[in-house]
Each structure stands twice: as structure tokens, then as C-alpha cells.
Structure 1
Amino acid sequence: MLIKQKTKTLFLSSLLISSAFFSQAHNVSAGYQKPDDPLVVQNLEEWQDLKFGLFMHWGTYSQWGIVESWSLCPEDESWTQRKPEHGKSYNEYVQNYENLQTTFNPVAFNPQKWADATKKAGMKYVVFTTKHHDGFSMFDTKESDYKITSRKTPFSKNPKADVTREIFTTFRKDGFKIGAYFSKPDWHSENYWWPYFPPKDRNVNYDPKKYPERWDAFKKFTFNQLNEITSNYGKIDILWLDGGWVRPFKTIDPSVEWQRTIKVEQDIEMDKIGAMARENQPGIIVVDRTVPGKWENYVTPEQAVPEHALSIPWESCITMGNSFSYVPNDQYKSSQKIIETLIKIISKGGNYLMNIAPGPNGDYDAVVYERLKEISGWMDKNQSAVFATRSAEPYHDGNFYYTRSKDSKTLNVFHIDDKTVYQAPAVLSFSVPENFKPKSLKILGTDSKLQWKQNGNTIEVKLPGDRTKIKYASVIQMTK
């Protein structure tokens, strides 16, 4: 991922300060440009209906159980630390890291198992890391031999070696929208980190203006890889570009700490890339993360939920465990916490992209399937209040969160208690928008007849005796 710990907070803070992103007045960021391509507009509308997606960070680094890619970066941060057993010097570490290619053999890889479990849990789109910052391609690129389908990689002999193709084909067949994550920086490429110079930080290690031929070669390499992904892997709905330090120098926001480290021009010609992607995949959503403008079709807060509802398309990418990449004995969030997070996100108009990291054997930890099964039980009963909804005033009031149907005829009110294990109270009292007078009211997941009354903008509901069966959250659905 691009933003780590303190820089994540600064990113969100900068949005608050510079663009009033999270204001209750729904001010739109001055940098956001609404797409005008009708197919993109339609795709974005459909994507906003989906609400819950699957993110997967997976690569050779899973064998060491470390943070994805970042230990290669010569910055002194908590997420870039290197373990001595993996190399005593930086150069030895890099060599050993890149040799992980020669032992990567995830023989338990079975994307249908993932698709079955995540679909039941209500996930409706997938974003997969085709290439992270380390440059290892999880697809069959012709531009590099540092890839999962190389003869150097043991898994290349497996009929499912092109895992990107297998994942996209399997999930697409099961009705998911397909998203391709791709890192713009490539720390393996000699045209990004030129071996003539040592890398200094996450950025290109030479001045592209001083060595334009080398930068042109990198631009061509990046363009060709993205052309492969958008040409050879079936229908792709989202191109999710990470590594926002690769950007036109004029777009740098000096109020954001990590952007202040960008000292040279790194314009990768997004107009050319975007036009190619749209020619190959008409209507594709392009997410050039943190680079406001034409090619950031939605914004992506990381490991955080905005304080207020946003009026533009957005998605929070949040891990099920503590890490985006596989870490042994990771601490996975409870099903209640995941459902509470989903409710908070959709009440503010966003999507929840939950990351689950496969291990070196090619499968999730067993506890992941337990969580997904628990979530699926809740989703079966409450999905009508989740999918194809939009934010609704008052959005959030105490422990109550609101969504509405797109025609505004149905109002959904979620009640949670994120401080303890949820127990539905005997009575729920909450406010509704001005002049909203429901003709019918029900608690999703229960068949009991309810007693309820409205007094002005306040509704009081007596929950049935079988309320003990309600888990994680109560969902009241009202129709005009």
C-alpha cells in the first residue's frame, strides 16, 4: 500500500484542510473531476451499488511473512524494517528478497474457494495486486522475467501459474466486478531504480530530466505492462493505480509529508495510459490514487473511515487483519467489527474494500473463512439495506446509521454498539428526516409483528421477544 501509519493520518488531514472533503456541507474537493464519459459514469454508478469488495495483496513476500515490498525501501520507518536473518547488509537483503522468486510455489491456490466464500459474505468486486512496488509481476508479462510465470519460479509449472488470469476469470464468472491493482513505481526495474545509483527513498533514484532516455524507457515499460493487463485478461472494470509519488511534479501537495519527499519530475503520462486503458476497456474506472484530476475517478482513504459523508465516489481500503500482506498469526478483526465498519462506510456513501492476504501456500488462514461465514449469515438477512443504497440524512446519530434506497422511498436505520458484543435493546428510539412518514416498518431478520410509533421526527420501536437472535447490528427498514 501507498500510505503507512502516520502518513495515512496526514493524508486524511490534508484533505480536511485543503479541500473540505469531509465537511457536512458536502463540498467537493477542488481537485476532483467528475468523469464525462457516459460509460465511465455508468460504471461508477454500478460500482457504488456494490458496497463491499475484496482486496488481495499477494506476492513472493508472503513467504517471509513481512510487509509487502516496503522492506526494500531505504527509508527508516517502522514498516520498512528488515530482519537480520534475511540479510546482514542492504544489498544482501535485496538479493535474498528477489531470490524468493525461486521458492514461490503456492500449490494450495484455488480461486474458486475464495470466490465462493467472499460471494456468500456479500462481496461483489475484487481488486488484486497484479504488481506491487517490488516489481514482481503476478501476471504473465512479456516485459520482465521477474514474474510468477517465469521458469525461475517453481509455480510456473502449475497450470494455474498465471494467477491474475485465474483470479479474474473465476471471480468474473461469479458476477464480481474486476479490479487490477498496479504499482506505478517498480523498484526492480533498472529504469526506475538505476543500478548506477543507490536508491535513496521510495522515489526514482535519478533525475528523469537529466536522463530522459532512461525515463522514457520506464514510461514505455509501464505503458506496455498496463496494455497487457487491459488487453489480455478479459473484461476489467477498475484500474487501481498505486504509488502516488509517480506523478507530475506540479501536482505535489506540500502539506502532505510523503509528497514532500518527491524532488524530481515523475510524470508518467497518465493521459496516454488512461486513453489506452479506455480504448482496451471502454468505461473502465481509473483510480490514480492521491493524484487529483481526470484520472482519479474515486478516492481511497486507507485504514480509515471519513468523519462525514462525502459527495463524491470513495472507498476505504481496510485490512481484515493488521497487515495488507500475509503475516503469520495475524490478529483478524471480529465479524462484529467488520460489519460495524461496513455500516459506518455505507452510511457515509462509500464502499468498503476489505483486504485479505493469501499465505505462501496460496490460501487464506482458516480464521478468515470463519469470519466470512459469520458475515454471510448477517448479510443474508440484511442485504437489502446494504446494496444499491446511498447515504441519507442524518447519516449518523449516536449509535444509529442511515442509508436509503436510490429512489428515497425506503430508509434503513442501523443500530450498533461498537464498545461491546451487540445486544439488541428492548426499545429503539431514533430520528428520521423531516417529513419522512413511513407506512411500514420492519426489523430485518425477524418475522415478529412490531409495535412502533412516530412523534414528529422521532420513531420509537419495541423490539420483539426474539431480539436475542439479532447479531452484530439491528436493521430497521421503513418504506413510505
Structure 2
Amino acid sequence: MKVKGVFLAILFVLMTSKNVSAQIKYEPTKSNLEARQWFEDAKFGLFIHWGVYSILGAGEWVMNNQNIAIDAYEKLPSFFNPTKFNAEEWVQIAKNAGMEYITITTRHHDGFSMYDSEVSDYNIVKKTPYGRDIIKELSEACNKEGIKLFFYYSLIDWHDDDYFPRGKTGNGIDGRKEGNWSAYIRFMKAQLTELLTNYGEIGGIWFDGDWDKKNENWQYDEIYELIHDLQPQCLIGNNHHGLLKNGEDFQMFERDLPGENKTGFGTQKSNIGKLPKEVCATINGSWGFNLQDRMHKSKKELIHYLVRASGFGSNLLLNVGPMPNGKIQEEHINSLAEIGDWLKINGETIYGTKAGIIPPSTDWVSTQKGGVLYLHVLENKTKPFIISGFKTRIKSAKLFSNKRKIKTKHTKDGLQIEIPEASQNEIDTIIEIILK
């Protein structure tokens, strides 16, 4: 429940009440444009879904999925004591995987804050026996190791009465009361002020939940302006599955690659903008810790996810859901290390690249740096194959792994390529093409 009369909330209201006009047109600062370029080059990040829901081992939506009453769910924090949590270990796991940034849930849809908030006592420091600010510890560890930190922040709140009128989710949860929407907006602004004031330089804010109340006035103009005023370089993304909104700095895609729609809520190709892109995906089948999840993706599947994302001109934000004791599952650590080992050898074809001029297909994608094109052949080819419509003249083509030349020929249908079967890699055969 909210602490009333806290100085930070009062100060915030006084500061913003004088100027509540909408942003007419967002003009990013030099530091923001530089941050966008860094983000676009980074290509790989670690997503972390962690909260008191991990105790139940049934994912981060357990409160909604099992319709757990407010008073029952409020017992969970008293059991949350992650004594095995080690921020430096988490950061090292990300570094070993070749990741450049970490995005962590500071508050999910259950309304529980995973940091020391002054505007809500429903948080990890005040309500758990653990009593430590894990976001503070993680920010310090990231800063020490040169990893940028992004904050996931839920727009939804199944716990707060002021999240009213309610949206599509959480309506079977007993104990929810009516409240004041304007008060909820003020609460979110105050929490975002805390997150952008007390934890050093932040890479970005990752919003989620717009889809719960698609036609609601979220006051994004004021919220986005607040964020950019506090930290101009801070990148804003919003998982609303639609057109970019004024003030956003990157476009995100959930599970689907840009323009795909296997999930049923993928962003249409016509709605894809020109800002940096990021695809978020799970390492197994769940975001939050799920004890019975056996859908662990193989090394090949995970590397293909990263390579395909890069071929679509996008980052990959790969998720793990730590256990309630604060440890990341060993099988996930091992999988991340396997990707890191692959990147140590092949990272040149991923980091700092853009989508290549060869369009993605089911069998390959391409990445590019200037006049160097990397064709990632993801399915073995027993015969010569043709890149349809490819007319660009090339200077040379060779295997990235050993620099051996391979046979190519321009035909009326495109570029014909022949890779010796013995030279093909079961995960990704990379061809380095130098363009004329």
C-alpha cells in the first residue's frame, strides 16, 4: 500500500504541476542518439524476470492465472529470502554469454517493487526478510563491469486500487477495489523518478502492459518527457505491439522477429519504424521461474534466434527467470555460456552489424558492416543454391571460419553459391562476401 505524504511524491507533483503540456515533437539529444547507436550495435542482452512470484514456481502471471486474492498474495513477500542472490555472479553470467546489457523487472504486474521505493512500502526492502535492494546491488555490479542496466516497468498493477478502471487482466482477483486513475499516474511518475535518480546512469526503461487497456490515456507525453528530462540518454521502449509513439527510442518485439506474427500479437510489417529494434525471447518456455518448464531451447535454437534477430536488424533480449533462492538455473547458465563461446569466434559477424542486403529466408539471413556482407547459412546445403535476385557485384566470397574461397557464380536468377559439404557447420555456416 502507498505511503502518503512522502516528500518525493510531493516534490514531483510540485515540479510537474507547472507544466503539463504535451510533447509536440520529441527531439532526441546528442547523448540519446549516441545511446541509440550503442544499443543498435550491442545486439545481445539478458532479460531477467524475478519477483516474489518465483516462490510459487508457476511463472510471473501466477497471481492472474490462479486468481490469487490480494490478502493471500500479500503473504508471499514474507517467504522471499533469496540468500543465494549475488549481483556480481549474475553480471558475470551475462558477460560470459557475450551480452552487453541487462534488463530486469523492477515491478511486474503483481505490483510488487523489487527495489527500495519511498512511495510504496510494498517492496523487497520493507516487506521481505531479505530486506536488501537488489536493484542497487545489480546497478553497482553492472557499473563495475561495463554492462548497461535497463529497467522493466509494468504499467499494469493487480495490487493497487488506483489502477482503475481495470483492464483485461486480473479481474478474477478478490480484494481489488476502485480507485483514482490520476493518482495511479502520479504514483508511476514518482516511482520512475526514484529509479532514474537513485541508481546511477540507466540504459533504458522497458514498459509493458499497454495492451491491458489499449484505449487508456497513459499520459505517455508527460511520462516520456519526465524520463528524458531526468536522464536524456535513457532509451524508452514500450511493448505495445504497435506503431511507435512520440518519445520512444527503440521498438520492441515479443518472441516474434520484426514483421512476423507467429504469436498472434506480432507487430505488422507496416508498423515497423526506423528506430533500433529488439526482440525479447525466453530461454525455455517461461519468463518467470516455472518449476515444471521442460521447454529448454537447444544450443542451435538459441544461436539461431540471435543470428536471425541480427539478420532482421534487431537485438536479442534473452530471458532467464531466477529461482526464489536467487540462483539462475544451471542449465540456463550452461546454455548462455555456449552462446558466449560461439560469439567469441563469430561475434564479428553479429556485433555492430546491420541487416544485410540479402533478405532473410527460412534457410539463411545476412548481416553487414559497410562493404562486408556475412551470409549465415542455417540449413546445410548438399547442392549449389541460389540467392534469388542478388545482382550486386562481389569481389570475393570465402568461409568466415577458415577464409577458404568458395565457388560463386552470377546467373540470370541470382548469385549461385556452392559450399563443400565437409566445410559446412551444423549450426551456422558463415560466408564472408566482399562487395565491389
* TM-score normalised to structure 2 length: 0.81
Helix, strand or coil at the partner of 2:190: helix
* Alpha-carbon distance, 1:426 to partner: 6.3
1:215 and 2:181 aligned: yes
Shift of 1:201: 6.4
Please tell me whether residue 288 in structure 1 is matched to residue 251 in structure 2. no
1:122 aligns with 2:78: no
Check if 1:51 corresponds to 2:43.
yes
**Is the Cα contact below 8 Å between 1:55 and 1:355 reproduced in 2?**
yes
Indicate yes or no: 2:280 matched with 1:304.
no
3-state SS, counterpart of residue 135 of structure 2: helix
Distance 1:453 1:220, change over 3 A: closer
* Offset of residue 274 of structure 1: 1.7
Equivalent residue for 2:313?
A: 349
Map 1:438-449 to 2 at 5 A: 438-446=394-402, 449=404
- Aligned partner of 1:315 among 256, 260, 278: 278
CA offsets per residue over residues 354-397 of structure 1, 9 Å max, x none? 11110111011110121112212211111111111111233224
**1:118 Cα deviation from its structure 2 partner:** 2.1
* Aligned residues: CA RMSD: 2.8
Task: Report the counterpart of residue 433 of structure 2 in structure 1.
Answer: 478
Q: Which of 49, 58, 63 is the aligned partner of 1:72? A: 63
Q: Distance in 1 between matches of 2:165 and 2:313?
A: 43
Indicate yes or no: 2:142 matched with 1:186. no
Q: Is 1:377 aligned to residue 341 of structure 2?
A: yes
**Structure 2 alignment gaps of length 5 or more:** 1-24, 261-268
Deviations 1:149-184 (A, max 9, x none): 11x31111xxxx211122222223322222111112
Q: Does 1:325 align with 2:299?
A: no
**Is the contact made by 1:288 and 1:295 (CA closer than 8 Å) also made in structure 2?**
no
Structure-2 residue corresponding to 1:20: none
* Structure 1 residues 293 and 144, CA gap change in structure 2 (3 angstroms): same
Change (3 A) 1:35 1:444: farther
Q: Any idea what the Cα deviations from partners look like across 1:96-120, whole Å, max 9, x if unmatched? A: 3221100101111112222222222
- 1:54 offset after TM fit, Å? 0.9
Query: What runs of 5+ residues in structure 1 fail to find an aligned partner?
Result: 1-32, 74-79, 83-89, 253-265, 418-423
Partner Cα distance (2:367, 2:389) in 1: 12
Cα distance per residue 1:115-164 (max 9 Å; x no partner): 222222221121110000111111111011111111x31111xxxx2111
Q: Are 2:415 and 1:458 aligned?
A: yes
CA shift, 1:188, in A, is 2.0
Tell me if 1:134 matches 2:110.
Answer: yes
Q: Supply the AA of the counterpart residue of 2:256.
A: A
In structure 2, how many angstroms separate the alpha carbons of the residues matched to 1:306 and 1:97? 36
Amino acid at match of 2:227: A
The Cα shift of 1:403 comes to 1.2
1:351 deviation in Å?
Answer: 1.5
- Report the AA paired with residue 81 of structure 1: Q
User: Aligned in 2, Cα 1:395/1:172: closer, same or farther, shift over 3 Å?
Assistant: farther
- 2:21 maps to none
- Check the 8 A contact 1:56/1:129 in 2, yes or no: yes
Identity %: 28
Would the aligned equivalents of 1:429 and 1:460 in 2 still touch at CA under 8 Å? yes
Partner in structure 2 of residue 255 of structure 1: none
User: Judging changes above 3 Å, is the alpha-carbon distance between structure 1 residues 397 and 63 closer, same or farther for their aligned structure 2 residues?
Assistant: closer
Equivalent pair of 2:150/2:206 in contact (CA under 8 Å) = yes
